Each structure stands twice: as C-alpha cells, then as structure tokens.
C-alpha cells in the first residue's frame, strides 16, 4: 500500500457462501423465542413491572373477590385518589367489594384489557368508575409495554402507523423483540432484588410504583407533547369507547372520573355514592 | 454502557473513585466497540459493493506500548497522520528534539481533527508526549541488553502503563470541558468512597463484565491466530451460538434512547 489510503490491498479471503452458522443461529433464536419469549412466566416473573402488576392485581384483588360492587380503573392519580376502604365506608358496603385496580401509567387500553381478561367476574359490577384524563387520550405512536404484551395483530395494525406498526408486526411474529425488557428485568430481578413482591395496603390499594420508568411519568399534555414530539397524533379514545361499549353490553353503569389535583377522594366518593344509589 | 458513562461524565463529583474508574473503563470499551463496530459495518457494506476498505482496528487494547497502540487504533487516521503530517514535518529526520516535536505536533493536530476543543488538543498532546517519551525510552532500550526474560517480565508492566496512559487520555477525550476533566481526575486521585446500592453499581459492573468478555472473546482468537476472520473457521455450532448470542445481546440490551455512534460527530 503506497502512502496512506483507506483502500486496502489486503483482501479477505473467503471461500464461497457458507450459511450454516447463520442457519444454526436462526434455529437457536427460534428456540429462545418459543421457549423463553413466548412463555408467560418471562413477562410476569417480576411483579414490579408493567405486566407483572396486572397479573399480580388479578391474583391479589380480582380473583379472591366474590362480588364486585364498585370497580375503579385508571392510572396512578385515580389509584391515589380513590381509597377503597373510604369509599366502601361512605357507601355502606363491605370493603372487599370495592376494588381499585388502577395502576401507574394505566391507560384506557390497560383498563380495557383488564376488563376483557376478567369479564366474567367484572360484568357483575354495580358501578364502574373509569379514570379519564386529557393526556391519557393522547394517541402516540409509541406502543407501551402492556400493549406489546396484550395486543392482537389487528390492534397492532389498526392503531399504529409507519415504523411503529412495522415494528409491532415484526415483534408479533418474533416475540423476543417484544419481550426484551421482560428478559432483561428477569435477569435484574434474579440478581439484584429477588424478593420484591406486590402487596395490598391496609386501605385496599395495591402498593406499587413503576420506579423503573419514573422519568417518563408525567401528567401534563404539554410535557407529553414535548416528550413525544411529532409522534403525538391526536386525541383518540378508541380504547375508552370500546370499554364503554362492553360495559353497555353488560349493562354496567359507568362513571367517568377525572381526578382533580386536590380533595380527589371526597369528590369521587360523593359522585360514586350518588350514582350507586 | 452508554447511560452509565453519560452519568459519570456529566457529574463526576457525585461518584466514588470506584464509580469513576468503572465509568472510564466502560467508556474505553464503549468507544472501542462503537468505532471498531462502525468501521466493520463500513467495511462490510463497502465489500458488498466490491470495495475493500482497510482494517481500522487490530486489538488496540492488547498493545504493550503507546506506539503499538497507535498502530492498532484508528489505523486509517494514524497512517494518514504519519504520511501527511509527521513525514512532511520532517519525520525521523533531524535532531532528536526535532523528531519529538514532530510527534507531538502531529498528535496535537490529530486531536484537533476530532473537533475544535481544547480537550481534544490535550488528548492529542498527551498521546504525542507519551509517544515521544516512548521513542526516547525505545532508543535507550535498544542500546541495552535485550534479554528475553526482561521482555517477558516487563510485558505486563508495559501493558499496564500503556493502558493507564490511554485511559487517562480518554478522560480529556470524553469530558465536555477542562473543568469536568479536572473533576474527574481529582475524583480518581482522591478515591472517595460513597454509599451506593448493590443494584446501582452491580448493573453497570455486570454490563462492563459482559462487554469485556465479548471483546476478549472476539479479540483473543484474532490476536492469537493473527487472523481477523478466524470466527469463520470455528465449528458451525459454535459459530451459530456466537451469532445467536450477539443478536440476543443486541435485542435484550438495546438502549431505550437513541444513542448515535460516537464517531458519527467527527
């Protein structure tokens, strides 16, 4: 090579096309996908995770309840605002009949998912309170971890566009792409915090905060737009509409509740009481 | 690794000596993986068009002297610096001090090639200075008795000294300004201890260990056999396992944020 040149005179001597290693790799990745990424255990092992919490709440709250009188679904503001013990006392019903299964970063889609998965039991609810907020109706082109776990292929195609849609379709086929956070979390959980479990507090609420994603939690539309930029499409309440349709089919009265910044529990319990009676 | 490195270099005063060392070691791995990977992608893409690009990295962290490091690191830049700066400046011709001046000047300009910042000048200058020192040392060494046992004994010492120099120089390369670099270096020197949770230090440590193992797993066979494509001669099962593992690592440990190539900016 004369003088410096980015072109090399040393050429790699590769003899022909040998795809055998690639084929073995493909087979191994298939094994990982079938026996790891598609196993529910991977997703729910860490209770302190967006999907683990849904399973934990179903097991801890919904499953043991015989009769659901009031069901509350929403995000952490709704969880913090409506205390089952207080609401049950105000309504004069048993505390175990009031369930608040709102969760951090809970969206209308998550509420719909919980309702769909437990419809047999929840369809007998006397009143459903759904937390609604402006920002939770913002349709962004960023699928949440829960959406990646629970959504069908049709939902993936219908509610996302462009790169996000392509990624969702690809990850529907190759589940490892969806499960990467869960696999990573599983390792972390085993190595660093093996005993972190979700529990129910004395007031009937599930004690859990998504500290892992704390930096993304924000309630204001302005900040959501700043974070998501042009990935914010428009206000679109498709999940909420679908949930309301199902409730209408099941004949459940629904209260749409927007938690104010203060005195939230009083307002909610007052509203719930009037509707309940 | 990138988020931890960013954290350590954005506020070095808030980290312990061990945390800073880990952050620096991670940056060394990050920039090597980043740039060597970037170069390999470029080589691979070019090859598909029938263009053969030169090798840009040859196990630089196995170098046992700074001169060898520069024959292994960013080879395209170092050969360019040699051919278009060092040699036109006079190269090895002239007095000893003149040669040292040429070395330092070429490296300072090489530092400036990375960006118009004094930190890059310091980085280049530090490398130039150590190259000059090494040249002086090698001149002295070549006159003395070059017994094989001395070479064997000094090899790990030389490697440690070379890596210490390279690592310290990385501080100037990565730090956004001299104040941060000073804070980082004084943090390393004072070696303060801080209470950190197991997860806070454990996760980056694990990431570093994983990255190091990956680097060694690729570089050692290449260095031992002096063959950059040795992986293609591995048994099919081992090769498949390596490919699958690399793809899984890329998927599972991908960053949530967009992390551009470091050398993208240069």
- The predicted complex's ipTM stands at 0.72
Structure tokens at A141: 């082109």
Give the ranges where chain B is alpha helix by DSSP (H): 2-10, 17-48, 66-72, 75-81, 96-113, 118-143, 148-174, 178-190, 198-225, 236-252
Number of H helices, E strands in chain A: 14, 8
pLDDT digits (tens, 9 = 90+) for A131-167: 887 666 666 677 888 889 999 999 999 888 888 899 9
Domain ranges for chain A, please list them.
19-47+140-192, 49-138+195-208+237-277
Is pLDDT above 80 for B21? yes
In this structure, of A25-39, A228-242, B56-70, B242-256, the range with the lowest mean pLDDT score is A228-242
CB–CB of B229 and A14 under 8 A?
A: yes
pLDDT band at B175 (very low <50, low <70, confident <90, very high): very high
Cβ neighbours of residue A61 closer than 8 Å, sequence gap 6 or more: A99, A101, A200, A206
Our CA dihedral for B231, B213, B28, A216, rounded to 10 degrees, sits at 110
- Flag whether pLDDT at B90 surpasses 70: yes
Taking 50 as the pLDDT cut, the residues of chain A under it are 1-3, 9, 214-220, 263-277
For an interface test with B, which of A17, A22, A24, A32 has the most B Cβ atoms less than 10 Å from its Cβ?
A: A24
What pLDDT does B181 receive? Answer: 93
CB atoms within 10 A of CB B157: 10
- Give the residue on A whose Cα is nearest the Cα of B228: A12
Residue A265: per-residue pLDDT:
44
Q: CATH number of the domain at A49-138+195-208+237-277, please? A: 3.40.50
Which residues of chain A have a CB within 8 Å of the CB of B199?
Answer: 188, 192-193
3-state secondary structure of B149: helix
Answer whether B90's CB lies under 8 Å from B72's CB. no
Q: How confident is residue B142, by pLDDT bands cut at 50, 70 and 90?
A: low
B→A interface, C-beta within 8 Å: 47, 51-55, 76, 79-80, 82-84, 198-199, 202-203, 206, 228-229, 232, 234, 236-237, 239-244, 247-248, 251-254
How does pLDDT run across B185-230, given as a tens digit for each residue?
998 888 877 766 666 777 788 889 999 998 999 899 999 998 888 8
The residue of chain B nearest to residue A192, with distances taken between CA atoms, is: B199
Over residues B85-101, mean pLDDT? 88
Alpha-carbon gap, residue B47 to A215, rounded angstroms? 43
pLDDT of residue B107: 93
Reduced to 3 states, what is the DSSP secondary structure of residue A118? coil
Q: Which of A2, A4, A15 to mutate to test the interface with B (most CBs of B within 10 A)?
A: A4
Instruction: State chain B's mean pLDDT as an integer.
Output: 87
What's the whole-number mean pLDDT along residues B62-85?
92
Mean pLDDT of B10-19: 87
Chain B closest-CA separation from residue A115 CA (Å) = 30
């Amino acid at each position: 090579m004369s003088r410096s040149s980015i072109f090399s005179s040393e050429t790699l001597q590769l003899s022909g096309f040998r795809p055998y290693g690639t084929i073995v790799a493909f087979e191994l990745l298939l094994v990982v996908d079938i026996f790891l990424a598609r196993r529910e255990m991977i997703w729910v092992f860490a209770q302190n995770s967006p999907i683990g919490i849904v399973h934990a709440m179903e097991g801890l709250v919904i499953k043991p309840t015989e009769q659901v009188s009031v069901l509350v679904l929403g995000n952490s503001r709704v969880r913090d605002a409506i205390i089952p013990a207080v609401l049950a006392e105000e309504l004069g019903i048993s505390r175990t009949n009031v369930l608040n299964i709102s969760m951090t970063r809970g969206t209308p889609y998550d509420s719909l998912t919980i309702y769909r998965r437990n419809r047999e039991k929840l369809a007998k609810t006397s009143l459903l309170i759904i937390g609604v907020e402006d920002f939770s109706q913002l349709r962004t082109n960023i699928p949440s971890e829960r959406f990646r776990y629970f959504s069908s292929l049709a939902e993936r195609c219908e509610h996302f566009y462009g790169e996000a849609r392509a990624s969702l379709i690809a990850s529907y086929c190759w589940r490892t792409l969806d499960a990467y956070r869960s696999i990573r979390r599983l390792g972390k959980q085993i190595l660093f915090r093996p005993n972190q479990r979700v529990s129910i507090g004395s007031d009937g609420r599930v004690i859990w905060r998504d500290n892992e994603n704390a930096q993304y939690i924000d309630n204001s539309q302005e900040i959501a737009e700043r974070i998501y930029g042009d990935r914010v499409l428009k206000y679109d309440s498709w999940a909420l509409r679908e949930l309301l349709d199902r409730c209408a089919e099941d004949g459940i009265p629904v209260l749409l509740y927007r938690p104010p910044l203060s005195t939230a529990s009083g307002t909610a319990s007052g509203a719930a009481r009037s509707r309940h009676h | 690794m990138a988020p931890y490195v960013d954290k350590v270099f954005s506020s070095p005063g808030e980290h312990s000596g061990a945390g800073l060392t880990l952050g620096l070691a991670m940056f060394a791995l990050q920039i090597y993986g980043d740039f060597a990977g970037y170069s390999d992608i470029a080589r691979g893409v070019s090859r598909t068009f029938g263009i053969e690009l030169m090798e840009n990295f040859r196990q630089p962290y196995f170098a046992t002297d700074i001169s060898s490091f520069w024959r292994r690191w960013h080879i395209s830049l170092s050969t360019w610096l040699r051919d278009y700066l060092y040699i036109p400046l006079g190269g090895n011709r002239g007095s000893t001090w003149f040669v040292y001046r040429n070395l330092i000047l070429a490296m300072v300009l090489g530092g400036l090639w990375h960006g118009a910042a004094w930190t890059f000048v310091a980085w280049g200058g530090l490398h130039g200075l150590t190259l000059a020192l090494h040249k002086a040392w090698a001149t002295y060494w070549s006159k003395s008795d070059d017994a094989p046992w001395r070479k064997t004994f000094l090899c790990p010492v030389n490697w440690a000294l070379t890596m210490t120099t390279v690592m310290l120089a990385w501080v100037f390369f990565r730090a956004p300004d001299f104040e941060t670099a000073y804070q980082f270096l004084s943090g390393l020197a004072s070696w303060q201890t801080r209470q950190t949770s197991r997860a806070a230090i454990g996760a980056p440590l694990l990431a570093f260990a994983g990255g190091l193992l990956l680097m060694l797993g690729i570089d050692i066979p290449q260095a031992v056999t002096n063959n950059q494509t040795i992986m293609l001669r591995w048994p099919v099962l081992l090769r498949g396992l390596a490919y699958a593992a690399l793809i899984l690592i890329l998927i599972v440990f991908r960053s949530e944020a967009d992390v551009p190539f470091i050398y993208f900016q240069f």
